[in-house]
Amino acid sequence: MIKIIKKERGMNQMEIPKDLFYTENHEWILVEGTEAAVGITEYAQQKMGDIVFVELPEPGDEFKQFDSFGVVESVKAVSDIYLPVGGEIVAINEDLFDSPELVNEEPFEGGWLVRIKIMDKDDLETLMDHENYIRFLEEEE
pLDDT digits (tens, 9 = 90+) for 107-121: 888 999 999 999 999
pLDDT for 15 equals 84
Domains of the chain, start order: 15-121 (2.40.50.100)
Asked if residue 21 lies in contact with residue 31, where contact means CB atoms within 8 angstroms, the answer is: yes
Taking the CA of residue 25 as centre, how many other CA atoms within 13 Å lie in the half-sphere pointing to its CB? Answer: 19
Question: Residues 21, 127, 45, 43: is their CA dihedral positive or negative?
Answer: positive
Looking at the whole model, is its pTM more than 0.85? yes
In the chain, the percentage of residues whose pLDDT exceeds 70 is 91
Coil, helix or strand at residue 34: coil
Which tens digits make up the pLDDT trace of 36-53?
999 999 999 889 999 999
Question: Does pLDDT of 9 surpass 90?
Answer: no
Mean pLDDT value across residues 60-80:
96
